[in-house]
Structure 1
Amino acid sequence: MIAPKRIDLPTLLPLAAAALVVLAALPGVTQGAAPLYGLLGLFGLLVLLCLLAIRRALRQALAAVEALCAGARPVHSTCLSRLPEVQRLVGHVAGMAGALHSAETENRRLQQTLLQAQEQERNRLGRTLHDDLGQYVAGIRAQAGLFALLADDPQAVRGASQRLDQHCQALQQGFHALVRDLYPVMLDELSLEQAVRQLAAQRSAAGIDCRVGFDARLPEPGRERKLQLHRLLQEALTNVVRHAGARNVRLRVRRRGADLCLSLRDDGHGRPAAGQGVGLRSMSERARGLGGELHYRGRPGRGWTLYLRVPLEEASA
């Protein structure tokens, strides 16, 4: 047996109003005061019922919105008014609440990622100071102490002096490398193309064949924008060295319309590695900060592909 279809008040009221209009148009119905008063009474009753129905629908919608704002589970659609406008209103509010929750979750995740990145950077600086710079300082002290013992042996003094000079040179190189990582002063003097080629040359010196294609039509970005692009590319190439196991890298920077497009491909294993996710998230955040987007894909046995697209000029506030 088929259950009768339920007709709620918002559906019934327009039908009743239409019936009232048809009834009023019939000849003889409105003749005399009594029928007219009756029609007016029915009309007033219909208006009252309409107002009550609207009030009920608004209260249901308000209750659903308050529940969403309080963090409760969304009210099921069957508990709401059947008015499509109310359904859409609650649906939009639920969508905004879901988007806000997702944004808050993403912010918490990014905060954790930032803390992890800061801790990793502190550990890296600590290892550099202890293992490299600290070692050279200890060697310098040891060689300096020999001068008092070898004062009567000019040949030994010359040897100790040479070793002392070597330690000082290594210490200076390590210090410059550390400062360059923390603050690339050379960006003030280099163009973006020169900075990109210098990064590629540093990776080539480490045993990775890194080749660059640079579009001469690209305008020179501002210093802050150039710094962020430099950091992003530096992170990408560092990921290649640490995680990809690649021997060849192809880097291309070109202009496409009003955007700068950067693509990087390597011939590594193409599999995600432990610790790689922090670097990728950091690059994605830098890309968003520049008003652009970053896409990457790893294919096992065929390497990683990274694609960056950012506006050439910073958007106006």
Structure 2
Amino acid sequence: MGVVTDIRNRPGVGRLLPAVPRARSARSARSGRSGKKTVSLFWRIFSLNATGLVLATALLLGPVTVSTPVLPHEALILLGGLAALLIGNAVVLRLGLTPLRRLGHAMSTADLLRPGTRPEVSGPAEAAVLIATYNTMLDRLQAERAAGAAHALHAQERERHRIARELHDEVGQTLTAVLLQLKRVADRVPDGLRDEVTQTQEATRAGLDEIRRIARRLRPGVLEELGLASALRSLAAEFTHHGLTVRHQVPGDLPPLTPEAELVLYRVAQEGLTNTARHSAADRAELTLRRFPDAVELLVRDNGTGIGGAPEGAGISGMRERALLVGADLAVVPGPGRGTDVRLRIPTGPTAPHARVPTAPADTGPHARVPTAPADTGPHARVTAESTGTDPHARVPGAPGDQQ
């Protein structure tokens, strides 16, 4: 039994794999697209040469005579026959090997992260069987790649949640206790040391704020609590804090989306804005979510330097992995004029091929918490993000660490 069957037998993994068509038999591959049986390359060449030999034998056994010495018109007839035989062989070979050239081009340009059209099963029977086998092999490889990526991303999300919870429960609580101790110390220290204690308080408070931001980056609690629209608006607010002017257009009447599809939309938007902030030298960006009758499209656009000819890094590859898991199309292309466009189109509706992509199960233990520290309401409380027109209840989830 093949590898794909073993993967499908794992608990919860069968739903991750797209349907993989069974390998065509040699008989079905020989029939081609139209259903008509095709003649193999061997029989085409054999038939052509056999016809030439039969004609030559008929001429030898017939009443045809050859002069001695050979007359010019007889030599022309002989040369014409040989030329016709060679041309016939060349045409047959050319037509017979064309499907193999197409297959070679498809093999050299195949990319499992960019599923595209398969080579057409056509040509002689031998070529048709080979192309059909290659298509089936590619389907299996894509299914295995999707299953492996789903496991890896699922583990990544669980690890994000674990680290965020520990940052909140351990480091965050420790820094909060340090702040309380410093406050008590500040009330008793001499005036000459008060400034130093105050600076230490500010540094500790800044560290606590950073811990909160990191926890929100690792686990977007706003996505689970307030939904995709609020999460994207909050994301725009976070990157406005990073020095970008992020304009967002997120409708409130989105079609029903699975939690997996929402997570993919959020993570791709997060990664796209992260790359914009760190690599593009842009000062403006757009975050747009549009609905169509059969799909939802996310657009992250900036006015930076563009992607140029740089190879894709881990960030874009991660976006492609996530898009593949929910049957979405991802395009990273130059923007109009300058900059970069990141487009993610996810099909919607009951027939949408949404796979079960990485979402960590909800924590139900006694220590399960949303990894965000209580809001600092003291006199030194600070705002960590600003953006006009954002949801006033949205919290800032931040950006991931995977880069381009």
TM interval, short-chain normalised: 0.5 to 0.7
Pair 1:292 & 2:328 matched: yes
Pair 1:315 & 2:358 matched: no
State the distance in 1 between where 2:354 and 2:340 align.
34
Segments of structure 1 that go 5 or more residues without pairing to the other structure are 13-84
Question: Which structure 2 residues correspond to residues 100-139 of structure 1 after superposition, within 5 A?
Answer: none
Aligned-residue offset at 1:155: 2.2
Any idea what the Cα deviations from partners look like across 1:269-290, whole Å, max 9, x if unmatched?
1134757532222112211212
Segments of structure 2 that go 5 or more residues without pairing to the other structure are 1-46, 55-120, 356-404
Change (3 A) 1:216 1:182: closer
**What's the Cα RMSD here?**
4.4
Percent identity among equivalent residues? 30
Letter in 2 for 1:199: L
Aligned-residue offset at 1:186: 2.0
Change (3 A) 1:103 1:316: closer
Pair 1:162 & 2:198 matched: yes
Aligned-residue offset at 1:168: 2.8
3-state SS in 1 of match to 2:313: helix
State the distance in 2 between where 1:158 and 1:86 align.
84
Equivalent residue in structure 2 for 1:303, among 316, 339, 361: 339
Question: Which residue in 2 is equivalent to 1:183?
Answer: 219
State the distance in 1 between where 2:194 and 2:285 align.
45
Pair 1:246 & 2:282 matched: yes
Change (3 A) 1:87 1:254: closer
Higher helix share: 1
Letter in 2 for 1:211: R
* Native 8 Å contact 2:269 2:300 kept in 1: no
Aligned-residue offset at 1:257: 0.6
Aligned-residue offset at 1:307: 1.7
Letter in 2 for 1:297: V
Question: Which structure 2 residues correspond to residues 1-317 of structure 1 after superposition, within 5 A?
Answer: 5-7=48-50, 88-99=124-135, 153-156=189-192, 158-272=194-308, 276-298=312-334, 302-313=338-349, 314-315=352-353
Letter in 1 for 2:199: R
Aligned-residue offset at 1:105: 8.0
State the distance in 1 between where 2:316 and 2:219 align.
21
Aligned-residue offset at 1:256: 0.6
Number of aligned pairs? Answer: 219
* Native 8 Å contact 1:269 1:301 kept in 2: no
Letter in 2 for 1:288: L
Aligned-residue offset at 1:102: 5.5
Any idea what the Cα deviations from partners look like across 1:212-263, whole Å, max 9, x if unmatched?
1123431353433322211111011111112222111122211111211112
3-state SS in 1 of match to 2:282: coil
* Native 8 Å contact 2:236 2:247 kept in 1: yes
3-state SS in 2 of match to 1:295: strand
Any idea what the Cα deviations from partners look like across 1:26-57, whole Å, max 9, x if unmatched?
xxxxxxxxxxxxxxxxxxxxxxxxxxxxxxxx
State the distance in 2 between where 1:86 and 1:168 align.
70
Letter in 2 for 1:315: P
3-state SS in 2 of match to 1:7: helix
